[in-house]
Amino acid sequence: MTPVDIVGWSATVLGTILGVPQLVRLLRTRSVAGLSLIAWQATLSINIGWTVHGLLIGQPPQVVTNVLALLTTVPILVLMARGLDRPVAATLLPGAVLGVAMIAIDLLLGSAAYGVVVTVPSVVIAGGQTVELARARDVRGLSPVFLVLGLVNITLWETWGLMVGDSGTMIAVSIAMAIGVVNFVWFVLRRLGLRALFPRHGDEDAVPLLPAVGE
């Protein structure tokens, strides 16, 4: 196994389980407080887009990672839709449509163009979470393990992109890494007691996902 394979499959394994801590936290806390819906919708589009991109450039690690990541992304979106009292289909649709649009650009314009375009949902993921971290009165629904694993995963994919020379990966991941670091620092500050900035009126401290046992 080559060094490229080792890094790629390491990122694959981590990417496969990346959403698990967040899914578990949602089920345990029964709260979506601190989570960004638009960020997870963009994550769905990323999973779809990178699956096809991996097929096009012949890199199984990207394909396996994103196909399996859908097994956590979709349930998280379903739980968020229920917690926010939104239709599930309407919650999933924006991410699916954006994913298909990214695939079309990859097919028509190539990897470099895809790398530029995919920065949009990448920035939405990180930026949407940044906004939620700033405005949410409570961030207990967000998993710190998920944030840490996300930074490690981004670092692995950045390394892999450099090793294989794929411009699409390098462009997208570099931007995601910068914003991911900001989010982690912001999360730590919130947990240390920093208050919400410009909180939404009527925002509850915690949004229930499911009724308590016995209700």
Instruction: Report the amino acid identity of residue 139.
Output: V
Q: What is the mean pLDDT of each run of 10 residues along the chain (215 residues)?
A: 80 79 87 85 91 86 84 92 90 93 90 79 78 81 84 83 75 76 85 78 49 40
Helix, strand, coil percentages for the chain (3-state, nearest 5): 75, 0, 25
Distance of alpha carbon 8 from its chain centroid, rounded?
18
d(CA 185, CA 205): 21
Confidence (pLDDT) at 151: 85
Angle at CA of residue 88, ends 87 and 89, nearest 5°: 95
- Domain assignment present for residue 49? The answer is yes
- Domain assignment present for residue 203? The answer is no
- Domain assignment present for residue 159? The answer is yes
Tokens of 95: 């991410």
Q: Which residues constitute the domain of residue 169?
A: 3-191
pTM (whole model) above 0.75 = no
- Domain assignment present for residue 144? The answer is yes
Q: Token match 């500050």: residue?
A: 189
Confidence (pLDDT) at 202: 53
Helix (H) / strand (E) element for 149: namely helix 144-164
DSSP category for residue 197? S
Confidence (pLDDT) at 41: 92
Beta bridge partners of 208: 31
Confidence (pLDDT) at 200: 65
- Domain assignment present for residue 213? The answer is no
Confidence (pLDDT) at 205: 43
E-assigned strands of 108-172?
none
d(CA 44, CA 196): 27
In terms of residues, how long is the chain? 215
- Domain assignment present for residue 210? The answer is no
In the chain, the number of structural domains is 1
Tokens of 78: 């379903």
- Domain assignment present for residue 166? The answer is yes
- Domain assignment present for residue 211? The answer is no
Confidence (pLDDT) at 101: 92
Confidence (pLDDT) at 168: 65
